[in-house]
Amino acid sequence: MARGGFREGAGRPSGSTNKSSPEQYQRLSELAKTYSEEALQTLVDVAKNGRTDAARVSAANALLDRAYGKPAASEERSIAELPPMVIELTGPS
C-alpha cells in the first residue's frame, strides 16, 4: 500500500465547480464588517499595550495595512545606462 503523494481519484475532479460562490463570499464579508470596529479597537490596544515587541509590531502593521492598503509589490526593474568600465592590469610595483 503506497503512502503519501498523488493518489488516483483523490481531490476535486477537474472541471467541477468550486462549492463556494460569490454570494457566500459577499455574505461572509458583510458578517465580518459588523465586527470591524471592535477588531480595529483590539488591534489598537495590542499595538499600544502588547506584551511583546512582535505583537505590537504585528498589530501596527495590520492597522497600517487597513488604513493605507498593503504596499504593491513592484516587479518592474530599470536598467541603468552606465559608461563602459576599463580595467587595467599592472605588474607589481
Domain of 44 in residue numbering reads as 39-69
State the 10-residue block means of pLDDT for the chain, 93 residues long: 70 76 83 86 91 91 84 74 84 75
Residue 1: per-residue pLDDT: 56
* Chain centroid offset of residue 23 CA: 24
Residue 93: per-residue pLDDT: 65
Does some domain include residue 62? yes
Question: Grid coordinates in use for 59?
Answer: 498589530
Residue 23: per-residue pLDDT: 83
Does some domain include residue 31? no
Residue 52: per-residue pLDDT: 92
The total number of structural domains in the chain stands at 1
Residue 49: per-residue pLDDT: 93
Does some domain include residue 16? no
Does some domain include residue 51? yes
- DSSP structure class, residue 4: S
pTM above 0.85, yes or no: no
